[in-house]
Amino acid sequence: MFKLAFTLCLVLLTIFAHAEEARPASEDPALEARMLSITSELRCLVCQNQTIADSHAGLAIDLREQVRSMLKNGQSNAQILDYMTARYGDFILYRPPLKNSTFVLWIGPLVLLLTGFGVLIFVLRRRSRMPAENFDPEETDFTEDSHSSTRSS
């Protein structure tokens, strides 16, 4: 009997419980979306592997608020990024601008890729000129460690 009453109470209690969708932090969803698109380009300097959009650090919250108020004042994305780099340097940008000090950063991977292709072409060409018997399967000596038989040239 007690159990039934208890259950009934619990069921009746759910009348007072009602869920809502999480409200956006700002009244203006369009502004909020722009704010998020800008801050996801910015590195949080307190927790460096997060964007300012993601981070819960106090500074990130302040900077999101700053971006919001700058957007409300009608400032452009470029103006806001300038504002941030003037204070925190290029390091705050996840896509730093191309200039002398960031040249290696931007060009480096391309150079490595082209070098890799160069080496690949060089090796393939040299192999194509080799006589066919160079490519005969090696006689595997099972008494030896099998790793030592992987060299082929």
Report the DSSP beta bridge partners of residue 93. 42
Tell me: does residue 35 bind another protein (CB under 8 A): no
Q: Report the SS3 class of residue 75.
A: coil
Please give the single-letter amino acid code of residue 68.
R
Tell me: does residue 117 bind another protein (CB under 8 A): no
User: Per-residue string for binding with another protein, 89-108, x by CB under 8 A?
Assistant: xxx-----------------
Tokens at 138, concatenated: 């090696």
**Rounded to the nearest whole angstrom, what is the least distance from the CB of residue 52 to another protein in the complex?**
11
74 backbone φψ class: left, alpha, beta (φ>0; ψ -120 to 50): left
| Nearer to another protein (CB atom), residue 86 or residue 124 | 86
The label of the residue with tokens 């040249």 reads 103
Tell me: does residue 63 bind another protein (CB under 8 A): yes
* Residue ranges that bind another protein, judged by CB under 8 A: 45-46, 48, 58-59, 62-63, 66, 85-91
